[in-house]
Chains A and B, each alone.
Chain A
Amino acid sequence: MDELVSLSVNAGCATITLARPQARNALSFELIHALAKVIRDVAARVAAEPDTIRVVVVAGNGKSFCAGMDLKAVLHDPVRMGEMLQQLSLSLLALRQLPVPTIARVQGAAIGGGCGLVVVCDFAVTHPEAKLGYPEVDLGVCPAVVAPWLIKKIGAGPARAMLLLGGTLCGTDALTRGLVTHCVEAAQLDGTVADLAARLMTGGVNAIACTKRFLNELDGSDDESIARAAAELSARVIASPEAQAHLQRHFQIAPPSQPRT
């Protein structure tokens, strides 16, 4: 099977690429595991040789950055679903804790957990037509895993309104609401990301690492217990009859056959 997440390093800039374009890079069990492994590799390399990776770009192959959690495949498998959410939640935490600046390169769509990847990065570049957001409550699902990161990104009040209302935003509105830091024409995405990465690599490695660690400490980013509790809550809500009914309608699949009582 082809790699679901690839890593390339070029002149100090590491690019983590979600490579499941046929499914709009939806976060499947396997993809999340591959992502976790790549993030661990990057963290290990940064720790061993701080000069080799000075900025990390998170990107997605194909038309969309990431369509969100691939719930369909695990809808009737709560154990696997729970593992998947834990792994995603801990991967977001690990990405946040990289001591180098991170940039999300967002084309097409970044939905739910995919938009979690966007807000956990220090910077995010998108284009006006992109679609970003958290439609979890629309599907009867709780956006617990992304909530702590969105609060840190745009503040608790605006995050509350956004998560309770669900839905998605275009790239222009995402910039206004603070979900992304840059919104440029689609043709300029790569150029803007490259310029930003180059600028971020001009600072002192230690100064940047120190600043990022302190930012994480001050805004509570290092709290692993929240990441774990979030995944548990999310899994519990997905397993509930309400969410199962919403999701089955959404995916237009039949409920699992159960003996009638």
Chain B
Amino acid sequence: MRLVTASSANGVCTITLSDPARRNALGSLLFEQLESAVGDAHAMAERRELIAVRLCACGPAFCAGFNLQECVDDPHTLAGFVLRLSSLTRALRAMPAVVVAQVHGPALAGGCAIVASCDIVCASEQATFGYPVHRIGVSPAVSLPTLMGSAGCGGARVLTLSGEIVDAQRAAVLGLVHRIAPDEPSLNALVGELLEELRSKGPQALRETKAWLNAIDGTGPAGQFGAAADRVASATAALCTEVESRTLLADAWRRRARTP
């Protein structure tokens, strides 16, 4: 079953999350396909075949976060997802091509972490962002290394500690969103134009500029990002197997099952 599709044309690889029924929730299969698509794109970018990666999604949501159904019975699955999310955000940041997120609906928890690791974030007015994960006993800390770059230290603090869900306008004020379109069709057009613009630039200049930004804003592998991200990921994953997280997650799942 294809939950993630990827296609390349004219120097742009488009990766689409395609599990609309589950709001593109990050489960084992979707993770696997997304990791593989990102890995393929990286290899293409290394071969100088790509200038940009467009990350978009179909269905009502961009990405609703982890697939909790898979996690309820086995806390180690949740811990594994946390580690995989951390690796994924780093892979997107390390991609030697400009990564553009096209966000048309909710991008929550792990979905928001993915968005925060993209270089340029375009959103429609219907998009929402946030980390409402404390209620299931999970920490959004794996998003912090890239989120603190994107939204600044203050914005990252507000988003990850409050669990508040913000709209595209507010996310733009916080620095997480860089371009806004009124609706989905115009978002699609906006991202198309932006990619067209990127094609007119010097590919090497873009690569060098991205690598330099990673180096100086602390999201490069050599800097604090590498070691800190490892530490945060394993500490956050360890939390998932503790009683607090297991109890809260089970409660949340029961409440959700009862809701008609």
Contacts and interface: CB of A to CB of B under 8 A. Distances in A.
Contacts of A240: 204
Contacts of A160: 119-120, 149-150, 210, 213, 217
Interface stretch (A39-47, A63-71, A72-80, A131-139): A131-139
A243 interface: yes
Contacts of B185: none
A163 B204 contact: no
B142 to A, nearest CB: 17
Contact of B209 (A158, A163, A242): A163
A157 B149 contact: yes
Contact of B213 (A154, A159, A165): A159
Interface string B130-157: 0000000000000000001111100000
Given A160-B149, A164-B209, A140 B119 contact: no
B205 A161 contact: no
Given A161-B120, A164-B120, A140 B217 contact: no
Interface in B6-36: none
Interface centre among A151, A164, A240 (most CB of B within 10 A): A164
Contacts of B197: 165-167
Given A161-B120, A165-B120, A142 B175 contact: no
B110 interface: no
Given A160-B149, A160-B217, A233-B208, A139 B119 contact: no
Contacts of B201: 137-138, 140, 166
A154 B173 CA distance: 11
Contacts of B217: 151, 156, 159-160
B78 to A, nearest CB: 28
Interface string B177-202: 01100000000000000100110111
B96 interface: no
A164 B98 contact: yes
B175 A155 contact: yes
A137 B206 contact: yes
Nearest to A143: B209
A147 B204 CA distance: 17
B205 A147 contact: no
B202 A140 contact: yes
B109 to A, nearest CB: 19
Nearest to B202: A140
Nearest to B194: A165
A157 B150 contact: yes
Nearest to A154: B175
A42 to B, nearest CB: 27
A163 B213 contact: yes
A243 B212 CA distance: 17
A189 B179 CA distance: 30
Contacts of B216: 147-148, 151, 226
A76 to B, nearest CB: 18
A147 B205 CA distance: 13
B203 interface: yes
Contacts of B175: 154-155, 157-158
B150 A230 contact: no
Contacts of A151: 213, 216-217
A174 interface: no
Contacts of B92: none
A22 B120 CA distance: 37
Nearest to B208: A142
A233 B212 contact: yes
A237 interface: yes
Contacts of B202: 137-141, 242-243, 246
Given A148-B216, A161-B179, A237-B208, 12 more contacts: A142-B212, A147-B209, A157-B175, A157-B176, A159-B213, A159-B217, A161-B178, A164-B206, A164-B209, A167-B197, A226-B216, A237-B205
11 contacts: A138-B202, A155-B151, A157-B152, A158-B178, A160-B217, A164-B120, A164-B206, A167-B197, A233-B208, A237-B208, A246-B202
Interface of B: 98, 119-121, 148-152, 175-176, 178-179, 194, 197-198, 200-206, 208-210, 212-213, 216-217, 219
Q: Which 10 A-B pairs have the closest CB atoms?
A: A140-B202, A157-B150, A156-B217, A161-B178, A156-B149, A157-B175, A137-B201, A155-B152, A242-B204, A142-B208
